[in-house]
Amino acid sequence: MLYPELDDKIVVTIMGACAQELYDLGHKDNFFYLQHAMGLASSIGLGLAMHLPAERIVVLDGDGSVLMNLGTLATIARYRPRNLVHIIFDNGSLLSTGGFDSHTTSGTTDLAAIARGAGLARVSAVDSVVDFGEAVIDAFNSDDLSVIVAKVAAVGPNHYGMDLQLAENAFRFKRFIHSRRSHRSAGLLGLPRDRGQP
């Protein structure tokens, strides 16, 4: 459901199920998989968003990663890049590392409330596929920073591995962004269709 929407976006995912499931749907050069350095996907997204105002940046994050870098929510809120959509899949589990409960299990910790408290204005919490779809469409149609906390089941793929070296991913991702900039400056690409003011 989300995948076709990512074609014209710059996408950063965390490690584990998030990265693998996106890769298995079909790798594209506008996807960067952060296979380690937990917590920093959102920071990469912030760095991209602040320096690529004409692009739409999507971060696919997880509860375990966000809990490792809660300060990022405050930093993102402070600078409020309007072209960033931060999606946090909250499975309440450190699934990729043995399935230990994360702090969000059973609603103990409410990431959406933390995000709002950090100063993020547009935060939605969803727990069904339909609501998720609506939240995503709303975020992509808006011209503002959006956070979506999506409760999901703690299930992941039955395999891990990519035919893509880490540095190769970084090189191709950077080259993709560079080519978009070149095309844009040559007038071959308009602003993303869902962006309002340039």
Partner 1 sequence: MTVSYENSKVIFQGIKAAGITSLSALPETWLGLLLQQADKDPDVTMIQVAKEEEAIGIAAGAYFAGQPHVLLMQNHGFLAAINGIVSLAQLYGIPLCMLIALRGHWGEPYPWHTRGGIVTEGVLRALGIPFEYARDPAQVGRQIREAYTFSLSSLSPVALLLTRDLMEEPL
* Interface residues toward partner 1, by CB under 8 A: 32, 34-37, 39-52, 69, 71-72, 74-75, 78-79, 166-167, 169-171, 173-174, 177-178, 181
| Nearest distance in Å: CB 188, partner 1 | 17
- Residue closer to partner 1 (CB basis): 52 or 139: 52
Structure tokens at 75: 């930093």
- Residue closer to partner 1 (CB basis): 31 or 132: 31
Q: How far apart are CA 148 and CA 160, in angstroms?
A: 26
Give the strand order in the sheet containing 10-13.
Answer: 31-33, 10-13, 57-62, 84-90, 146-151, 123-126
Neighbours of 90 (CB within 10 A): 26
Alpha-carbon torsion angle 20, 39, 120, 126, nearest 10: 40
CA 86 to chain centre: 5
Among 109, 115, 108, residue whose Cα is nearest residue 59? 115
- Residue closer to partner 1 (CB basis): 69 or 105: 69
- Residue closer to partner 1 (CB basis): 25 or 166: 166
| Nearest distance in Å: CB 34, partner 1 | 7
- Residue closer to partner 1 (CB basis): 2 or 50: 50
Non-local CB neighbours of 179 within 8 Å, separated by 6+ positions: none
| Nearest distance in Å: CB 155, partner 1 | 26
